[in-house]
Amino acid sequence: MKKVALYSRSNRSRTRAGAQAPSAEAATTAAPEPTPTPKGWWRRFYARHERLVLVVGSGVFTLVAIFGYALITTPMSLTQKDIDLAVQHTLENMPPEYSMASMAYEVVRPSVVRVRAYKEDEEGGEDKPEGTGTGVVIVDSGVILTNFHVVGSAHSIKVTFADGSESEADIISVQPEDDLAVLQAKILPDDLIPATMRSTADLALGDEVITVGYPFGIGPSVSSGVVSGLRREYRTPEGERVLSNLIQFDAAANPGNSGGPLVTADGEVVGIVTAILNPSDQRVFIGIGFAVPIENAASAAGMSPF
């Protein structure tokens, strides 16, 4: 770096052209001593110690930069109250289209199947449709839970998966006392996704639930509601059987929903829809539905209970 030249101050004015310059002795006696100023002192110090100033200045700049970076990048210490407020803000500002029902449905949708039962044609032709219900895949090998009353008297069974593919299915296990049947599909989709089952041990009245199925053959259809009761009993209108330890719910269910999943807000299956209560003979939903707890269903499938 080019050094700055030192200059001393002088009060002497330049002589005009033609004017006689003062003598050296007069100039020596007349010139006042330079008065030091802060600016002049700094220039002299910098000129004499340039290298030291640069080294020290560089070090100070580096320390300031490191300290500033640490302040920016060091995470703040969050309290539980800060976290709770952040979560509450997120929930309050969540877009309305992301409802509990829609999220739960998206989780369980790939696992729900349409179940069609066929009866044998007495004339030797193709089997004729007998009824439509719903099922839910619980093992990726094609194991499906449904209701016994949907397939119990069927000569043949077909299931339609979420991707639209179809397959014949066989009954591999039944548990009539809980109105449960277990099917095995013969042909599987490439990306078959089983549903997640959840224990009913912590299920409480008022918990949000949805049903997914094919009411009157229309679907897949989804409806939402809450758990209305636990450990209920149900007797068919004909008085043929009594189902016990049922989950009562008020999400809409109609003929065709039978065998479909009762699903929590997290998209996990806690029951298999089995019946609706209606004192009339209309067979339509009036607000009370029943589902077999998934513990019973897992037992019917030969799986260890929760």
Using the structure block, give the residue that is written with the tokens 């009060």.
11
- In this structure, are residues 247 and 237 in contact, taking their beta carbons and an 8 Å threshold? no
Does residue 70 surpass a pLDDT of 80? no
What is the rounded average pLDDT for all residues in the chain?
A: 79
Mean pLDDT score, 192-197: 94
pLDDT of 221 > 60? The answer is: yes
Kindly list the distances between the CA atom of residue 225 and the CA atoms of 95, 243, 262, in Å, as whole numbers in the listed order: 21, 22, 10
Mean pLDDT within 158-170: 96
Q: Which of 271, 246, 237 is nearest to 134 (CA)?
A: 271
d(CA 259, CA 146): 4
Q: Where are the domain boundaries for CATH 2.40.10.10 in the chain?
A: 106-185, 208-300
**Quick one: which of 27, 24, 2 has its CA closest to 13?**
27
CATH number of this structure's domain 208-300: 2.40.10.10
CB 137 within 8 A of CB 143: yes
- Residues of the chain above pLDDT 90, percent: 47
Q: What is the pLDDT of residue 273?
A: 95
59's CB contacts (< 8 A; 6+ apart) are none
- Specify the pLDDT at position 141: 94
Catalytic residues: 149, 179, 258
Contact 304, 208 (CB under 8 A): no
Fold annotation for 106-185:
Thrombin, subunit H (2.40.10)
Q: What are phi and psi of 144, to 5 degrees?
A: -130, 135
pLDDT at 56: 63
- Range 129-138 burial, b when 16+ CB lie within 10 A, else e: ebbbbbbbbb
Dihedral sign computed on CA atoms, order 115, 259, 135, 264: positive
The pLDDT, as a whole number, for residue 297 is 83
